[in-house]
Amino acid sequence: MYRLKALCAALLLALALMLPGRALAQTPEASPTPQASPTPVSPAKQVPGIDLSVIRAIPVQDAGRYKPLDTVARENVDLVTGKEVFEGWDPMELMLSWVVKPEWWRTQPIVVVNQKQLKKDLGLNPDQKYFSVTELQNNFKLGQIIQKAAQKARTEEKLTDEEKAANDAATQVGTFRSVISGEVFTIIPHPTDPTAHWLSIGQLMEGDQTDLDGYTADQLQPAMNAFRDTMVAYNNGDTTAFRTASDKLATTLASLPKSADIYPSASKMAMEVEYNRLDPFRWSWILFLTAFLILLSTAGLANKSTYLVGMIAYATAVGMTIYGFYLRCSIAGRPPVTNMYESIIWVSFGATMFAFVFEMIYKARRFALAASAVGTIGFVLADYLPIPGQTISPLAPVLRNNMWLTIHVLTITLSYAAFFLTWGLGHMSLWNYLKDPSNKKVIAPTNRYIYKAMQVGVLLVAAGTILGGVWANYSWGRFWGWDPKEVWALIVLLSYLVVLHGRYAGWLHDFGTSVSAIVCFLTVIMAWYGVNFVLGVGLHSYGFGTGGYQYMMSAVLADLAFVAFVAKRYGDWKLKNRPAADSGSGTEE
Amino acid sequence: MKFLRELFDFLASLKLAVIVLVTLAVSLASATIVESLYDTDTAKHYFYSAPWFTVLLLVLGLNVLCAALSRWPFKPRHYGFVVTHAGIILMLIGSWMTMHYGVEGLLSLDKGEASSQFMLYTTVVSLYSPKLNQTAEWPVAYRFNPPSQAHPSHLDMPGGPKVAVYEYLPTALRKPVYVKGDGDQNPAVHFGLDNNFVHVDEWVGGTTEESQRVDFGPASVLLKVAKTPAELQALLAPQHAPRNLGQLQLKFPDTTAMVDVGRNLEQTVPIENTQYQIHIIRYLPDAVPDESKQQLINQSDKPINPAVEFELITPQGGREVHSVFARFFNHPEVPTLHGATDQHTRVQASFKFDPAAANDDQLGNQVLLIAGPGDKLYANVHAKSGLDKAGELTVGQAWDTGFRMGLKLTVKDFYPHAMTDSQVVAFVPRRGMKENDEPPPAIHVMIANNGDTHDLWIRRGEAYGVMVGGENLEIAFRPRMQPMGFNMKLDSFKIGHDPGTDNDASYQSTVTYSDPKNGVQPKEAVIQMNEPLHYNHWTVFQSSFQRVDGVPRISTFQIAYDPGVPVKYAGSLVMCLGIATMFWLRGWYQGLGKKKKPPTQQASGSNGKSSTEGPGLAEKREEALVTKGS
C-alpha cells in the first residue's frame, strides 16, 4: 500500500514538474496589482511590524490531523528550504510572501539541493546550495531521473541516493507550487462531518464549484473575500488592514461549520503555535549543555555554590523538557513515544530524570554531570538529525487506543533511559581511569552508581518486555511470538543480567562494570534502532525506517575504540603496578 | 551421592547461569539476523522451535530452580532472590503450556461468508477411504526436511491404503500440458527456445488465446491453426505492416520532395532530384521542447504532438539538423532549423501526419507456429533484427530464430490433435516479487491400495479423488482445520480514515456469531484492532484484509487459545516483584528480622569453584550490593 502511494506521489510529482505552474496571485480576483506586464517583478521584502498571530492560529486539515497554519508554514518552508527560518524570514510570513509574490520567489534560489551527484548530473553549480524553482522545473534531466525512479519504485527496486534526492527535489518544487496555488490552505471546514475532507483555498480558486462539501458558493464567498483581503493587505504592506482582514478570516472560517464539534478549538491551536515558537526541546539541550559545563567546572571540587548553580540549570532543563512533553502530548493527544524522534527525546528525558532523582538521593555529584552530557547528546541528535517523527502525525491503526501499549512503550523506553544513563556513567568512569586508575575514591562510587542505575534498567526492561507480551496477547492473541523487537528486548535484559550476575559472582570488578555499561548499551541500540532500521522484519513494522546506518555504525565503532584504548592503558598500568592493584577492588565501600 | 551433590552444585551455579545467559543471548541475536536474511519460518525451524533451543530453555529452568533451592532454608534476605527465580520458573511453565496446549490459526471470511472452523499453521496430508469410512490426517513439515525418492515419507492408513510422499517442491505452479488425442481436438506444440543462457520449455495449445500464447521477456510464441492452404499462405506472409509515421514534405527552392518517415526511420537516403541526403534521426510521438537543453524530449507514446528530427547532408558533408512538428504542417514558414543561423539548403520542411492512418506498432520478436493442413507444422519468425523467415518445421529440428544471442527454436512434440492435462513444475521467482505472491508448495505422492498404485502431484490447497485398487480415495494437501465450536459470519468490513486523508485509521469487521448447541442466539459483534472478540476460550483478532476490485471486502482474523497466559502473567508479576524486592526492599525487611549471622556454608555452593574467597564472602557481597540509602 505504502509503496503504491509513494509511487503515485512520485508520478504526480513528475507530472507536476512538467506542467507550468499556476499561482494564486495570478488569478485576477486575488491579485490587486496588474502583474500581467512582463516588467521585472519587484523583490519580496519582509513587512516590518506585521502581526501574524491571528493567521498563525487558523486551523488547517493536513496529513490526517488539524494543525495551525503556523505549523503548515514551518513544515513547508522547512521542506523547501531545508530550514524553518530561511534568511531571517518568519516561516509564516515567508509562506504568505510566496503566495503574493510567486513570480519573484520562483526565480529565487530557495530550494535546497545537497546531493552532489544530482547537482552534477543536472548541470547545476556544485558549490551552490540553493536553486530556484524555475531552474529545477525546467531541468529536463531531473524529470528523466524521476521517471526512472518511478519505474524502479514500480518494480520495488532500491533507489540510489541520487534518485532519492531527485524525488526530494521534485517534492520540494511540488510543495512550493502547492503553496502558491493555495492548495495547502485546507482551511474551509466541512459543514457537518468531522472526518471528511476540508476544502482548500486552491480548490475554490480553481473555479471548480461542483462539489463544495454541501456549501453554496455564496456561503463561501465571505471566507474567500477575507482570505483575499488578507493577502492583498499583506502585499500592500498594510499592517492595520492585515490585522483586520486576518481577524475577519479567522472568525468567518470558525463560523462556517453547522455543528460545534467540527472546528478545532482555538486554545489547542494556540498551544501548538506556542510549541512551535518556543521549540522547548531545543531549549532542553541548550540548558543541559549549560548545566554540563557548570557542573564540569565543579566536578570533584567542593564548590557548593557553583554546584548549586549547575543544578538549577539542570532542573530548569528538566522543567523545560517536561513542559515540552506536556505541550506535545496535548497537541498530539497521545503519549510521546510513538516514533524514533519522540523516543529519543523521551529516553534522553528519562535518563536526566533518573539522574536527578539519584542525585537527590545520593548527593553524589556524578549523576547530574553524566546525565547532562547524555541529555545534551540526546536532544542535540533529536534536534539536528533528520530523524523520522519530528512533525506530529497520526498513528498507525495498531497503535491506537491502547492502554497496554502506552504502558509497555513507556516502561521499555524508560529502561533504555536508565541504560543510557549507565552508558554516560560508564564513560565518566573510563575517563576517571584514564586520568588516574589508582583513584579508588572516585572510581568505586561511580561504579556503584552504574550498578544501581543498571538495576533500575533491568527491572524496567523486564517489566517492559512482559508488558509488551501483555499488549501482544491483547492485540494479537499471543503473549510471546519471537518477534525480533521482543527478542531484542529480551537480549537487552539477558546481557545486563550477565553483568549483574558477573558482578555478584565477583568476576566483574569496577573496570569491567564500566566497560559493560558501555558495551551492553549496544544491545539497547540494536533493540531500539537496529531492529527497525537494520533488520527491518517483524510485527513492529509501523516503526520501520531506513538511513543513518553508516553514522550509527561509525559512532558505535568510535565508542568501542575509546573503550579499547582505555582498556589498553588500564592494562598497562595494572602490569606496572601489579602489587598495588588488587584484584578484588569491586564492591567494598 | 557425591556426584549428585556436585551435579546439583553445578546446576545451581552462577557459572552455569552466566553461560546459559550468554548462550541464550547469542542464539537469540543470531535468530533475528537469520530471520532478517531469510524468513520467519527459517528462524523458527533452526532456532526457536529447534530441539536444542528447548533444551537450552530447560537448562535455564533447571539452573534457576536449583539456584533457588540452594538457598534453602530461606532466610529473609533470600526472599527477593527466590521470588524472582520462582517467577522465571512460572513463566517457563506457562510457555511450555502454550507450546503444548495453545492453538493459533487464521480465518479469512468474505463478506457474507460464515465458518465454524479455521486454518491452523500446520499443514497436513489427508486421505479418506470410503471402504473403511475413515479419514486419516498426517501433519507434515516438508520445507526443512523434504522427502526424496531415496527417503520417501511414508503415511500409512492402518489396514487401508498407503501413501508415500517422494518429492516436494517449496513453490510450485500447475501448468497445462498436452497428450496425444484424436479426432477433432485442437493442436498443441511442445517447443524449446535455447541458447547458452536461456532455456525455455513450454506448451502452446488448447482453444483460448491465452493458452495458445507464451510470452517470455522480449519474445512471444503463438500457435495458429490454418485449415486451408490459403489460410496457411496468409499466415506465412511477413508479419508486420511497415510503420506509417507520415511523410516529410521538403520544399527546396527548385523542387519539392516527399520522404516517408516510417520506412526511412534512422536511415540515410538520398532525396530525389536533389544533391542532398536525408538522415531521419528520430520520430517523437509526443514532443515537448526542453528549453534548458535546447532539445526535444518525448513525453509519451501517444501521437499527441508528433515531431520528426532529421538532418540534411550536403555533398560536402555539411549537416543541417531540423525539427519539424506535424501541427505546423500548414505553416511551412515556421523555422525548423535548430542551432544554426545560416541555412544552406533553404528548405522549408513540414511534417504530414494523419493520426487515423498512423501505425506505430512495433512488433517484437515473435514466432508464429502454424498447424497447417495435413497435420504439418510451419513457423513464421519475425525478429526485431529484421531477419524474418518462414517455412515448414519438423519435430526435433533446431531453427535459428535470428533473435539476439542466437536463440534456437526446437519443436519437441507436435500433436495435431491433443488433449489437455496439467503438470506441476517448480516455480522460479522473479525479481521484485512479493512473498505473498509466491505459489504454494507441492508434493508428489504414490498411493498404494490393494496391490494397485497411482501417483500424482498435489499442490497445497488441492484435493483429488483418485481410483486406486477399486476404491475412490480422496487425498488432499492442506492446512489443518480446527473447529471453533461456534459459527461466525462476516457482515461487513470497513476501513476508517484519518480526517481528510486516505490513511487507514482503523480496521473494523462486523460479525455475527452463534452457538446453537449451547443455546447462544446469533449475536452481533465488532472486531477491530486492539478490540478482539472473546467467546468461550477463543479470542478472535482483526489481523488483515484483502480488497476485491479495489473495495476492502475479505477480512482475516487470527484466532487463538492460550491456556498458558494466566501462568505467564502470574510468573511475570512474581518475577517483577521479586526483582524489586531484591534490589530495593531487602534493606528494609531485613531490618525487621534483625541482622543475623551469615548461615553456615550450605547454600553458597552457588559460587562454585570460581570463588577464591572464603565461605560467606558471596553473601557479604550480596549484602554490600543492597542499597542502604533508600
User: What is the Cα–Cα distance from A229 to A366, expressed in whole angstroms?
Assistant: 60
Distances (CA, A) of A79 to A10, A84, A85, A227, B300: 16, 8, 11, 24, 30
Q: How many CB atoms lie within 10 A of CB A272?
A: 24
Find chain A residues with C-beta within 8 A of B295's C-beta: 140
pLDDT value for A277:
94
Question: Tell me, what's the pLDDT at B444?
Answer: 95
Alpha-carbon distance of B286 to B268, in angstroms, equals 23
Q: Using CA atoms, how far apart are residues B278 and B322, in angstroms rounded to an integer? A: 11
Chain A residue with the nearest C-alpha to that of B293: A140
- pLDDT category of residue A161 using cuts at 50, 70 and 90: confident
Q: Measuring CA to CA, which residue among A425, A408, A248 is closest to residue A338?
A: A408
Contact A462 B95 (CB under 8 A): no
- Chain B residues whose beta carbon lies within 8 Å of the beta carbon of residue A474: 530, 532
Please state the separation of Cα B567 from the chain's center in Å: 37
User: CB of B156 within 8 A of CB of B364?
Assistant: no
The pLDDT averaged over each successive group of 10 residues in chain B (630 residues) is: 90 93 96 89 92 95 93 85 93 92 93 94 93 93 91 91 94 86 82 82 85 80 88 80 78 86 82 87 79 66 81 84 79 60 72 74 76 88 72 85 76 88 81 66 94 93 92 94 94 88 86 91 91 91 87 92 92 92 68 43 37 37 37
Given B22, B499, B504, which is nearest A195 (Cβ)?
Answer: B499
Provide the pLDDT for residue B375: 86
| A524 touches B: beta carbon within 8 Å | no
pLDDT of amino acid A371: 94
Q: Which residues contact A316 (CB under 8 A, 6 or more apart)?
A: A287, A291
| Contacting residues of A for B503, CB less than 8 Å apart | 63-64, 394
CA count, 13 A, side-chain hemisphere, B248: 32
3-state secondary structure of A205: helix
Query: Nearest-CA residue of chain A relative to B502?
Result: A64
> What residues in B contact A156, CB-CB < 8 Å?
432, 434
Q: What is the rounded CA–CA span in Å between residue B128 and residue B476?
A: 9
Between CA A181 and CA A105 the distance in angstroms is 13
Q: Does A452 touch chain B (CB under 8 A)?
A: yes
CB contact under 8 A, A494 and B104: no
Distance from CA of A61 to the nearest CA of B (A): 7
Cβ contact A416:A347 at 8 Å: yes
Q: pLDDT higher for A185 or B383?
A: A185
**Per-residue pLDDT tens for A422-480?**
999 999 999 999 998 988 888 998 999 999 999 999 999 999 999 998 888 887 777 88
Which secondary structure element, helix H or strand E, spans residue B281, and what is its range? strand B277-284
Contacts of B503 (CB under 8 A, 6+ apart): A63, A64, A394, B497
Task: Provide the number of CB pairs (under 8 Å) joining chain A to chain B.
Answer: 203
My answer on whether omega of the bond before B285 falls inside 30° of 0, hence cis, is: no
Q: Higher pLDDT residue, B451 or A42?
A: B451
Q: Inter-axis angle of helices B51-69 and B2-11, to 10 degrees?
A: 100
β-pairing, B256-260 vs B247-251, is antiparallel
Which residues are registered as beta bridge partners of A21? none
Cell reading at B283: 520520430
Rounded to whole angstroms, the Cα distance separating B576 from A469 reads: 14
| Smallest Cα distance from B486 to chain A, Å | 18
The whole-angstrom separation of Cα B484 and Cα B537 is 10
The C-alpha of B278 sits at a distance from chain A's nearest C-alpha, in angstroms, of 28
| Among the listed residues B588, B485, B587, the one whose alpha carbon sits nearest the alpha carbon of residue B537 | B485
By C-alpha distance, the chain B residue nearest A395 is B505
Instruction: For residue range A298-329, list pLDDT tens digits in order.
Output: 765 567 888 889 999 999 999 999 999 999 99
- How far does the CA of residue B19 sit from the closest CA of chain A (Å)? 9
Nearest to A394 among B15, B17, B498 (CB): B498
Q: How far is the C-alpha of B564 from the C-alpha of B428, rounded, in Å?
A: 41
> What confidence score (pLDDT) does residue B388 get?
72
CB B33 to CB A490 under 8 A? no
> Smallest Cβ distance to B17: which of A400, A475, A501?
A501
**Cβ neighbours of B584 in A, within 8 Å:** 455
> d(Cα A356, Cα A358) in Å, to the nearest integer?
5
Which chain B residues are within 8 Å of A501, Cβ to Cβ? 14, 17-18, 21
**Chain B residues near residue A398 by CB distance under 8 angstroms:** 529-530
Q: Which of B18, B432, B532 sits opposite A157 (nearest CB)?
A: B432
How far is it, in rounded angstroms, from Cα B74 to Cα B422?
72
Segment holding A439, helix H or strand E:
none
Q: Which residue of A has its CA nearest to B627?
A: A452
CB B509 within 8 A of CB B524: no
For residue A17, the model assigns a pLDDT of 42
Residue appearing with cell numbers 515473435? B366
Distance CA B533, CA B537 (A): 11
Q: State the nearest Cα–Cα gap between A11 and chain B, in angstroms.
A: 13
d(CA B12, CA B71): 10
**Using CB atoms and an 8 Å cut-off, which of residues 477-516 of chain A contact chain B?**
477-480, 482, 484, 487-488, 490-491, 494-495, 497-498, 501-507
Q: Is B424 buried (19+), middle (13-18) or exposed (0-12) by CB count in 10 A?
A: buried
Element (H, E) at B432: none
Beta carbons of A361 and B630 less than 8 angstroms apart: yes
Which of B487, B491, B557 lies closest to B522 in space, CA to CA?
A: B487
What is the average per-residue pLDDT within A242-257? 94
Within 8 A by CB and 6+ apart from B176, the residues are B203, B205, B206, B211, B420, B421, B422, B423
Query: Which cell numbers hold the place of A436?
Result: 588516574
Integer Cα distance of B107 and B105 in angstroms: 7
- Which of A451, A446, A402, A448 is CA-nearest to residue A428? A446
B567 CB neighbours in chain A (<8 A) are none
Q: Which of B431, B543, B562 sits opposite A479 (nearest CB)?
A: B562
CB atoms within 10 A of CB B353: 24
Check CB contact under 8 Å for B104 and A488: no
Q: What is the mean pLDDT of residues A32-38?
A: 43
Residues 57-86 of A with CB under 8 A from B: 61-66
Find the CB nearest B28 among A65, A455, A487. Answer: A487
| DSSP string computed for A520-552 | THHHHHIIIIIIIIII--SGGGGG-----HHHH
Highest-confidence segment of A137-146, A197-206, A296-305, B470-479 = B470-479
Does the structure show a pLDDT above 90 at A54? yes
Higher local confidence (pLDDT), B147 or A23:
B147
> Grid coordinates representing B492?
461487513
**pLDDT number for residue A15:** 39
Judging contacts by C-beta atoms under 8 Å, the chain B residues touching residue A197 are: 500
The bridge status of strand B172-180 relative to strand B188-194 is unpaired
* Min Cα separation B421/chain A (Å): 33
Provide the residue type at B201 as one letter. Answer: D
Contacts with B187 (C-beta within 8 Å, 6 or more apart), sequence order:
B205, B223, B225, B371, B414, B415, B416, B417, B418
DSSP structure string for A90-148: -HHHHHHHHHH-HHHHHTSEEEE---HHHHHHTT--TT--EEEHHHHHT-HHHHHHHHH
Question: How large is the ipTM?
Answer: 0.84
The confidence score (pLDDT) of residue A578 equals 72
pLDDT at A137: 86
Q: Is A459 touching B (CB cutoff 8 A)?
A: yes
Give contacts of A 196-225 with B, CB under 8 A: 196-198
Per-residue model confidence (pLDDT) at position B239: 66
Phi then psi for B472, rounded to 5 degrees? -90, 90
The mean of the pLDDT values for chain A is 85
Give the residue on A whose Cα is nearest the Cα of B39. A537
| B604 secondary structure, DSSP code | G
Contact list in B for residue A65 (CB cut-off 8 A) is: 498-499
CB neighbour burial string for B166-185, b if at least 16 within 10 angstroms, e if fewer: bbbbeebbbebbbeebeeeb
- Check if the beta carbon of residue A7 is closer than 8 Å to that of residue A154: yes
| pLDDT tens readout for residues A525-564 | 999 988 888 876 555 555 555 667 788 889 999 999 999 9
pLDDT of residue B361: 56
